[in-house]
Amino acid sequence: MSSAIVQELQSGIAGNYAFTAAATLWIAGYLETVTTEINVIWLKRQTGTSLLFVLNRYSFLLSLLVTFMVSFPGESTDQECNSLHLIILIAGFIASATTDALFALRVYAIYDKSRSILVISSFFLLSKWVMGTMSSVLIKGISTTGYPIQAIVKCADYIENNNVYDRVQLGIPIITLAFEVFMFILTLRKTFHHSFEMKRLGESSISQVVLQDGILYFLIQLVLGVLDATAKGVQLLVRSKAVKNLGFSVPFFNIVPNMLISHLMLNLRTFSSPEATDSMVQSTEGQQYSGMHFATNSFLGNIGAPLDRGDFEEEDWDGHE
């Protein structure tokens, strides 16, 4: 067996291991949070952000399930593989776009619907989405039937223009990291002092949730993004298939943001629910419950606010009318 075939098989095996590990992580996170999702999303009044959350979560689940179908041994045709590949691309694009949108809307809301933040965020996101679309156009799914790699995967990707594809693939994590640095700085600027002051006073605040989840999201994405960009940059320079094994972080780079934005949304909804507010007030032994307010409108709905008990009672009353 030639060294090229061995490298291809090794790359396929490494990719399957990485995908399986990342998918297992996502499924475990989903099973852990599905009860919370039912309570704070499905049983509450639907808003624009809750619909984005559902679309984000379940388009990603669809992408994950179809990827499982093509990532393991079996027989197929080129037409079948290309159709499955299109489903993965479309579902994955929807999941990625809604993840970015929810992340941007959170910052947009805590900055009282700042248009400048919306414009800058839109620039980053449109750039990323254009690159993602270009990448999708250059690749299609083909059957591995009759090839040695059939023992590893049922379908494979065929890239029509490697030079353009590699450059676009390198640009995506770079744009993503730039967007996330921008979001993180804005989140830190808005929440750090408020969170610190609430902690000093012994009170609980939603700013602590936003800050903690924001830091977690940023640090994980920073590590994965640097690994992904490094792997793609080295591959672009070296032009060796063996370098593809450096891309083990790619499944995590796709899966972890989806997990984290779901975690953040559910945390915000749980923290700002009337039940959680009552519990928080009782546990602080008479201390005033305080929170950072998010801007809200008919589309945003309750992305994390209002946090005032009276606002919730009014919202619930309106929902029953």
Contact 70, 87 (CB under 8 A): no
Which pLDDT value is given to residue 205? Answer: 58
Question: Looking at 134-138, 192-196, 247-251, which range is the least confident one?
Answer: 247-251
Which pLDDT value is given to residue 166? Answer: 80
Mean pLDDT for 195-208 is 62
Which pLDDT value is given to residue 56? Answer: 95
Which pLDDT value is given to residue 124? Answer: 92
Residue that wins the pLDDT comparison between 13 and 183: 183
Which pLDDT value is given to residue 69? Answer: 87
CATH numbers and ranges of domains, the chain: 3-312 (1.20.1070)
Confidence of residue 38 (pLDDT cuts 50, 70, 90): very high
Task: Report, in angstroms and rounded to the nearest whole number, the Rg of the chain calculated over CA atoms.
Answer: 22
Nearest-angstrom CA–CA distance, 95 and 64: 11
Per-residue buried b or exposed e for 260-281, using 16+ beta carbons within 10 Å of the residue's own CB? bbbbbbbbbbebbbeebbeebe
Q: What percent of the chain has pLDDT over 90?
A: 19
Mean pLDDT for 285-299 is 48
Nearest-angstrom CA–CA distance, 99 and 105: 10
Most confident of 12-21, 70-79, 115-124, 259-268: 115-124
Confidence of residue 26 (pLDDT cuts 50, 70, 90): very high
Which pLDDT value is given to residue 123? Answer: 93
Contact 263, 29 (CB under 8 A): yes
Mean pLDDT for 221-229 is 75
Which pLDDT value is given to residue 298? Answer: 55
Confidence of residue 306 (pLDDT cuts 50, 70, 90): very low
Mean pLDDT for 32-51 is 88
Contact 41, 271 (CB under 8 A): no
